[in-house]
C-alpha cells in the first residue's frame, strides 16, 4: 500500500493513525522523578524562530509588493495572491490568446472524443481549471511541498491566472484552503503530467493536514497523454536541444506556438530559489519562478487548443505524416475507427509524397491493416499487408509481420497455398527466433500437407476421368 493510500485511510477513518496519542501522564519523564516537566531554557534556534515568526507579516507584505501581488490573512496563516490577465490580443509565441480561447470554447465535440479515449476525463466540459505546481522537490514523496499553486481559467475572451504562494512553510494550510475555495468555483481539471505528479502531490498535502481533497471527484484531463499520441513520433528538428523530439511542455510550446523563452529559470533551480526566499525574505528571485509557472499554464492551454483543432477538423488540418499517424492512434483509442482509417490514409499519402519517412509509412500501413481486419474487411487488409511487405527500407520486424499475415490470408481466405508457402519460406529465411520460428515451421508443415492432399486429389480426379472417357487420342 502506498503512502497516499495510507493517508486516505487515516483521513477517511478506515485506518488507525500511525501517530501515537500520548497522554499528559505518559509525557512526564519517569527517570527524573518529577510529577511535571520543568520549562527548558530557550535555545538560540527557538529565539531565532520566534523572531522569524514575528517578522512574518512584514516579510509577506514585502514579498507581495515585489511580486505584484497581495497578502490575504487567514485564520490558519497568510497567502500571497498574484493575479495576471492575458487578454485576447496578447500573444503567446505566434498564437493570439483570443484564438486559443476560441478554439477551446468551440472544441466541445473534439473534447468529447478525447474523453472517450481517456475515461478519467469523462465529464470534462464547461469551465476548465488549468493547474500547475512549483514544488520544493522533483518527487512526490511525503516531504515535498507545493510552495506555488498556479491556476488558470478562461474569463470571456481572456485567460486569468491566479497564483497562490506560501510566505513560509508554516502557511501551507492557508494556501491549501485558499486553493480549494478557488477550485470549487471552477470546473474540470486540465494538467500536463498531473495524474502522475501534480495531483498526487497536492492530495498528499491535503491529507497531511486532515483536509478534504477538493479535486477527488473532479474530471481530470491530463494533456500529456494526448500529446504523446499526437507528437511523440515527430522527427527531430535541427537545434542544440538534445530533447527536441520529446513531449515536454517546453519543447511542444516551441513547435506548436513558436514560443522561445528568454531568461527562463531552469526547473532544477526552482526549489533552491524558494529555500533562499524562506531564509532571507528576498522575493525578487521568485519573480522568474512565477513567470515560468504562468508560461506553463498558457502553454498548456495552447497545447490543448492545437489538439482540439486536430481532433475536431481531422487529418486534413495537418501536413505532417507523424502528426496524422498520432491522430489516428487517438481516434482508434476513442473507438472512432472510421476517422482513424482516414487519418492513416492521410499519413500514408504524406509519407509517400515526402519519401523520407519509412518508419511512419510502415507503422501507418500496419495499423491500417489491423483496423480493416478488425472490421472484417480481410481483402482490403491484405492489400495493406502486401504494400507493407514490399515497402523499401521497411523495418525487418514489420516486413516479417506483413508476410506472416499474408500467408494466413492466402491459406484461409484466397486458398492460394503456393503463395502462402512462398511467404512462409521468406519468413524462415530471415531466421526468426523462439515462438515465431516455431509457428512458421508449423505453418509450413501444415501447408505442405494441404498441398500434397490437393495434388493427390487432382491426380485421382485425372485418373478417374481417364478411366471413364478412355485415353486421349
pLDDT at 31 over 80: no
Q: Are 166 and 148 in contact (CB under 8 A)?
A: yes
Lowest mean pLDDT among 51-55, 156-160, 211-215: 51-55
15, 203, 213, 217 from 18: Cα distances, Å: 9, 18, 20, 26
Strands 95-96, 158-165: pairing is: unpaired
Residue 339 pLDDT > 50, yes or no? Answer: yes
**Alpha-carbon span 130 to 194, nearest angstrom:** 10
Convert the pLDDT of each residue in 409-440 to its tens digit.
999 999 999 999 999 999 998 877 788 889 99
- Among 260, 288, 308, the domain boundary falls at 308
Q: Same domain, yes or no, for 76 and 149?
A: yes
Collect all residues with Cβ–Cβ distance below 8 Å to 170 and sequence separation of at least 6.
Answer: 53, 77
**Separation CA 47–CA 224 (nearest Å):** 47
Query: Domain boundary residue among 288, 308, 328?
Result: 308
Residue 252 lies in a domain: yes
Asked whether residue 238 carries a pLDDT value surpassing 60, the answer given is no
Tell whether 240 is covered by a domain.
yes
The string of DSSP letters for 275-296 reads HHHHHH---TTHHHHHHHHHHH
Taking CA 216 as the corner, what is the angle to CA 162 and CA 78, rounded to the nearest 5 degrees?
40
Query: What's the average model confidence in pLDDT over 64-92?
Result: 96
Q: How far apart are the first and last CA of the chain?
A: 89
Cα–Cα distance for residue pair 228/219, rounded to 1 Å: 20
Query: Which of 265, 284, 308 finishes a domain?
Result: 308
More confident residue, 181 or 462: 181
* Domain CATH for 343: 1.25.40.10
> Is the same domain home to 251 and 390?
no
pLDDT band at 336 (very low <50, low <70, confident <90, very high): very high
Check whether residue 269 and residue 320 sit in a common domain.
no
Specify the residue for cell string 480481410.
378
Mean pLDDT (the chain) is: 85
CA distance 74 to 78: 6
At residue 56's C-alpha, the angle toward residues 55 and 61, to 5°, is 105
- Looking at the fold, whether 212 and 334 belong to one and the same domain comes out as no
378/28: higher pLDDT? 378
> Residue 232: inside a domain, yes or no?
yes
Pair 81, 70: CB distance under 8 Å: yes
pLDDT for residue 169 is more than 80: yes
Helix (H, G, I), strand (E, B), or coil: what is residue 147? strand
Mean predicted confidence (pLDDT) in 250-274: 93
Confidence tier at 44 by pLDDT (50, 70, 90) = very low
Together in a domain, 179 and 207:
yes
Domain carrying residue 409? 316-461
Q: What is the pLDDT of residue 28?
A: 41
Q: Is the pLDDT of residue 48 over 70?
A: no
pLDDT of 467 over the 60 cut: no
Percentage of the chain modeled with pLDDT above 70: 81
Q: What is the pLDDT of residues 182-212, one digit of tens each?
A: 998 888 999 999 999 999 999 999 999 999 9
Q: Are residues 74 and 205 in the same domain?
A: yes
Same domain, 282 and 332: no
Amino acid at each position: 500500500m502506498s503512502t497516499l493510500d495510507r493517508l486516505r485511510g487515516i483521513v477517511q477513518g478506515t485506518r488507525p493513525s500511525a501517530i501515537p496519542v500520548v497522554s499528559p501522564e505518559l509525557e512526564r519523564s519517569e527517570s527524573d522523578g518529577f510529577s511535571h516537566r520543568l520549562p527548558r531554557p530557550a535555545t538560540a534556534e527557538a529565539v531565532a524562530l520566534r523572531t522569524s515568526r514575528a517578522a512574518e507579516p512584514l516579510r509577506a507584505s514585502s514579498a507581495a509588493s515585489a511580486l505584484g501581488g497581495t497578502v490575504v490573512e487567514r485564520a490558519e496563516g497568510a497567502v500571497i495572491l498574484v493575479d495576471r490577465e492575458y487578454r485576447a490580443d496578447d500573444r503567446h509565441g505566434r498564437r493570439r490568446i483570443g484564438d486559443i480561447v476560441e478554439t477551446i470554447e468551440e472544441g466541445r465535440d473534439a473534447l468529447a472524443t478525447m474523453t472517450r479515449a481517456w475515461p478519467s476525463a469523462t465529464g470534462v466540459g464547461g469551465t476548465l481549471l488549468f493547474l500547475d505546481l512549483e514544488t520544493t522537490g522533483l518527487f512526490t514523496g511525503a516531504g515535498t511541498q507545493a510552495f506555488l499553486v498556479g491556476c488558470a481559467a478562461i474569463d470571456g475572451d481572456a485567460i486569468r491566472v491566479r497564483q497562490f504562494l506560501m510566505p513560509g512553510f508554516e502557511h501551507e494550510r492557508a494556501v491549501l484552503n485558499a486553493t480549494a475555495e478557488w477550485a470549487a468555483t471552477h470546473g474540470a481539471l486540465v494538467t500536463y503530467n498531473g495524474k502522475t505528479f501534480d495531483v498526487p502531490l497536492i492530495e498528499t498535502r491535503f491529507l497531511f493536514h486532515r483536509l478534504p481533497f477538493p479535486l477527488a471527484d473532479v474530471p481530470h484531463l491530463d494533456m500529456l497523454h494526448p500529446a504523446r499520441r499526437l507528437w511523440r513520433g515527430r522527427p527531430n528538428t535541427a537545434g542544440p536541444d538534445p530533447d527536441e523530439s520529446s513531449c515536454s511542455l517546453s519543447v511542444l510550446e516551441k513547435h506548436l506556438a513558436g514560443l522561445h523563452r528568454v531568461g527562463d529559470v531552469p526547473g532544477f533551480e526552482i526549489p533552491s530559489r524558494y529555500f533562499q526566499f524562506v531564509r532571507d525574505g528576498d522575493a525578487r528571485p521568485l519573480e522568474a519562478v512565477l513567470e515560468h509557472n504562468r508560461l506553463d499554464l498558457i502553454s498548456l492551454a495552447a497545447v490543448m487548443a492545437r489538439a482540439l483543432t486536430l481532433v475536431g477538423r481531422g487529418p486534413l488540418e495537418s501536413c505532417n505524416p507523424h502528426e496524422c499517424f498520432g491522430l489516428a492512434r487517438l481516434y482508434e483509442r476513442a473507438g472512432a475507427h472510421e476517422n482513424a482509417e482516414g487519418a492513416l490514409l492521410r499519413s500514408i499519402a504524406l509519407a509517400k509524397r515526402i519519401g523520407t519517412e519509412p518508419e511512419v509509412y510502415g507503422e501507418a500501413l500496419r495499423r491500417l491493416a489491423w483496423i480493416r481486419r478488425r472490421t472484417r474487411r480481410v481483402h482490403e487488409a491484405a492489400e495493406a499487408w502486401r504494400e507493407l511487405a514490399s515497402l523499401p527500407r521497411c523495418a525487418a520486424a514489420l516486413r516479417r509481420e506483413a508476410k506472416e499475415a499474408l500467408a494466413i490470408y492466402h491459406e484461409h481466405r484466397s486458398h492460394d497455398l503456393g503463395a502462402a508457402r512462398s511467404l512462409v519460406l521468406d519468413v524462415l529465411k530471415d531466421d526468426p527466433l523462439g515462438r515465431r520460428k516455431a509457428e512458421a515451421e508449423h505453418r509450413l508443415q501444415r501447408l505442405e500437407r494441404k498441398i500434397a492432399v490437393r495434388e493427390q486429389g487432382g491426380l485421382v480426379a485425372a485418373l478417374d476421368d481417364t478411366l471413364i472417357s478412355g485415353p486421349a487420342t
